[in-house]
Structure 1
């Protein structure tokens, strides 16, 4: 027969559950980014990406027998030209890879905007699913948003002291045309 312990009951009553958000976390150029899990429809192994290499940061791939726009996420977020390790190399690695080595694996995050538009974001490393307490979210200063080199960011996520912060991306801004975003 179990003995009722008032001490255990008091411990449970003091414990307050903190609200958490589930995020898909990935790295670009050694910077951590996150998307709300509700915005990521799927993560798939990267397939062939078609279009002009380095041509405006937008190409196509086939996903579920439909055309899917693939956005050079580094170009879109960092307000600049793609780096040598980014989208151009991912999209055309099969053509450039020597036949005796296996091509580098990459992934495609299928992101859906609030209006239902789907786009693919190519990333090199597999993303992770993380739960982050709501108290870790902080707004970015207006001066950083206007002067910084990042676009499509809506908040800063301050994690434990030993971990670098993450930038929360706005999925609606990610799928917008480059022309609709603030200038560099």
Structure 2
């Protein structure tokens, strides 16, 4: 029995376990994005937002009986580029308010000043364990062109999945 235990422990010792990081991934328009789970306070269904009559992307919503700032990250990231239809053949005007609210979520996180900030997203978030080897550098020319604003210099490259851009919240807030 001692021989089996020794062989078994040697075999497991030779296997190096790769470090993973927990990330929350989600869609905005047609792209995938991620945030480290440690930066997120909570994810809730998006309720009503108020105070953005000029469509600037800055509004407020109620969360736990207080108003918090809501920043439309889709608008910041894509520089006001027109939204493409994602979810069905229905147009935005044909969808009921409850349909719109059910499909959108609000990621709540703390700003650098420790204020709560809400970031609306277009899909239900997915938690993923991402290995260090899945993090890849974005090409420098892509970063210079600035096609997508507010992302870090790395993406998450998973098999059979489009690239996942990592958001840099300090650039968005």
Normalising to structure 1: TM-score of the pair? Answer: 0.77
Give the structure 1 partner of residue 78 of structure 2: 78
Give the structure 2 partner of residue 39 of structure 1: 39
Give the structure 2 partner of residue 132 of structure 1: 130
Give the structure 1 partner of residue 99 of structure 2: 103
Cα RMSD over matched residues? Answer: 2.5
Mapping of residues 1-184 of structure 1, within 5 Å? 4-5=3-4, 6-53=6-53, 55-81=55-81, 83=83, 102-104=98-100, 105=102, 106-154=104-152, 155-160=154-159, 162-175=160-173
**Aligned-pair distance for 1:82?**
5.2
Q: Is the 8 A contact 2:29 2:122 kept in 1?
A: no
Number of residue pairs aligned between Structure 1 and Structure 2: 164
The runs of 5 or more residues in structure 1 that have no matched partner are 87-92, 176-184
Any idea what the Cα deviations from partners look like across 1:144-168, whole Å, max 9, x if unmatched? Answer: 12213201100211122x2221101
The runs of 5 or more residues in structure 2 that have no matched partner are 87-91
Q: Is the 8 A contact 1:34 1:167 kept in 2?
A: yes
Q: Is the 8 A contact 2:69 2:117 kept in 1?
A: yes
Q: Which runs of 4+ in 1 moved over 4 A?
A: 95-98
Name the CA distance, whole Å, in 1 between partners of 2:47 and 2:166: 26
Normalising to structure 2: TM-score of the pair? Answer: 0.82
CA separation of 1:138 and 1:97: change in aligned 2, threshold 3 A: closer
Name the CA distance, whole Å, in 1 between partners of 2:171 and 2:20: 23
